[in-house]
C-alpha cells in the first residue's frame, strides 16, 4: 500500500505539473530587428509586421512570445540548433534554406529591389553588370547578388549600413527587400528605387525540421489569422496601400 501511495502521489505530481505548464510556455522568436517595417527598434521595444504576426500566433497557441534579437545570418542557425522555436525576419523560402529547416505557409509576398542614387544610370537589373552592389549579409539579396555578371558584392551586417555606403559613394547600388527599401528611400531623398524588381519571393516562418507539431500549430494559427482578416490588419498597419 505504501508503495502504491508513493506511485499515486508521483503520478498526481506529474499531472499537476503538466496542467500548470500546458499552453503556458514560451515561444522564442529569433529575429534581426534592423529591417523596417518587418522588425525594428522603437525606443526599448522591437516592433513591426513580423513581431505582431508572431505575437498573434503565440496568443493563438497560449504561449508567451519572447524575442531574441541577433545578426540576420544567425536567425536560421538558432532555429535548427534549437536555441529558438521560430525564426521570423522577413525570411524568404529558398531551396537552400529548406535543406536545414522547415517553413510555415507563406504570410507575405515581397520583391528584391535595387536602390540607387537619383542620378544613377542603373535603370534595370541588367545594368548591375560590372557594378559594385551592397547587400545585407545572409539575405536573399546576398544570395542573388552572386549571379550578377562581373559585379563586386560588398556585404554588410545591417541593411542601413549598405545604404550609408551608397550615400557615401562607396558602392553603386543596394539590393534589398522592397518594404525596407521604401523606408530607406523615404529617409534619403537623394536615393530612388529602380522600377524593375530583381526578383519576387515569399516570406514565411522558420521552424526546425524535427518539430512537425510546432509547424502544424503555426500553420493553423496563420490560417486563422488570414481567415479572420487579422493578418491583413497587421500588414496594413505598417504598409500603406498608397506606397
Do 25-107+204-238 and 110-201 come out as alike in CATH topology? yes
Q: What's the number of CA atoms in the CB half-sphere (13 Å) around residue 78?
A: 21
Torsion from C-alpha of 92, 97, 101, 105, nearest 10 degrees:
30
Residue 7 has pLDDT above 90, yes or no: no
For 110-201, CATH number out of 3.40.1550.20, 3.40.50.1000, 3.40.190.10, 2.40.30.10 equals: 3.40.190.10
Q: How much is the pLDDT for 239?
A: 84
Q: Give me the sign of the Cα torsion angle 168, 189, 142, 180.
A: positive
What pLDDT digit, counting tens, does each position of 180-231 carry? Answer: 999 999 999 999 999 999 999 999 999 999 999 999 999 999 999 999 999 9
Residue 24 binned pLDDT confidence (cut-offs 50, 70, 90): low
Residue 1 has pLDDT above 80, yes or no: no
Output the CA–CA distances (angstroms, integers) from residue 136 to 39, 81, 160, 217, in the order listed: 15, 23, 9, 31
**For the residues 156-178, what does the mean pLDDT come to?**
96
φ/ψ of residue 27, rounded to 5: -115, 105
Q: How much is the pLDDT for 110?
A: 87
Residue 17 has pLDDT above 70, yes or no: no
Cell of 185: 528611400
What pLDDT digit, counting tens, does each position of 90-122 carry? Answer: 999 999 999 999 999 999 988 999 999 999 999
Q: How much is the pLDDT for 114?
A: 97
Residue 240 binned pLDDT confidence (cut-offs 50, 70, 90): low
CATH 3.40.462.10 corresponds to the domain 25-107+204-238: no
Domain boundaries, the chain: 25-107+204-238, 110-201
CA pair distance 14, 21, nearest whole angstrom: 11
What pLDDT digit, counting tens, does each position of 120-160 carry? Answer: 999 999 999 999 999 999 898 998 999 999 999 999 999 99
Amino acid at each position: 500500500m505504501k508503495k502504491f501511495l508513493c506511485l499515486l502521489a508521483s503520478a498526481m505530481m506529474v499531472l499537476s505539473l503538466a496542467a500548470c505548464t500546458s499552453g503556458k510556455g514560451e515561444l522564442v522568436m529569433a529575429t534581426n530587428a534592423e529591417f523596417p517595417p518587418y522588425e525594428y527598434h522603437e525606443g526599448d521595444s522591437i516592433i513591426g509586421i513580423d513581431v505582431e504576426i508572431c505575437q498573434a500566433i503565440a496568443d493563438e497557441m497560449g504561449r508567451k512570445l519572447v524575442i531574441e534579437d541577433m545578426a540576420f545570418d544567425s536567425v536560421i542557425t538558432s532555429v535548427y540548433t534549437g536555441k529558438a522555436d521560430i525564426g521570423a525576419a522577413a525570411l524568404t523560402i529558398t531551396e537552400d534554406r529548406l535543406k536545414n529547416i522547415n517553413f510555415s505557409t507563406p504570410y507575405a509576398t515581397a520583391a528584391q529591389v535595387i536602390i540607387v542614387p537619383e542620378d544613377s544610370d542603373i535603370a534595370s537589373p541588367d545594368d548591375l553588370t560590372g557594378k559594385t552592389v551592397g547587400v545585407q549579409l545572409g539575405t536573399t539579396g546576398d544570395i542573388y547578388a552572386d549571379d550578377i555578371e562581373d559585379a563586386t558584392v560588398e556585404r554588410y551586417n545591417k541593411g542601413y549600413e549598405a545604404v550609408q555606403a551608397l550615400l557615401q559613394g562607396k558602392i553603386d547600388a543596394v539590393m534589398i527587400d522592397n518594404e525596407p527599401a521604401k523606408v530607406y528611400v523615404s529617409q534619403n531623398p537623394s536615393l530612388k528605387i529602380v522600377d524593375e524588381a530583381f526578383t519576387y519571393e515569399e516570406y514565411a516562418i522558420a521552424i526546425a525540421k524535427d518539430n512537425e507539431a510546432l509547424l502544424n500549430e503555426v500553420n493553423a494559427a496563420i490560417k486563422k489569422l488570414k481567415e479572420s482578416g487579422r493578418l491583413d490588419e497587421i500588414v496594413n498597419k505598417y504598409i500603406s496601400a498608397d506606397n
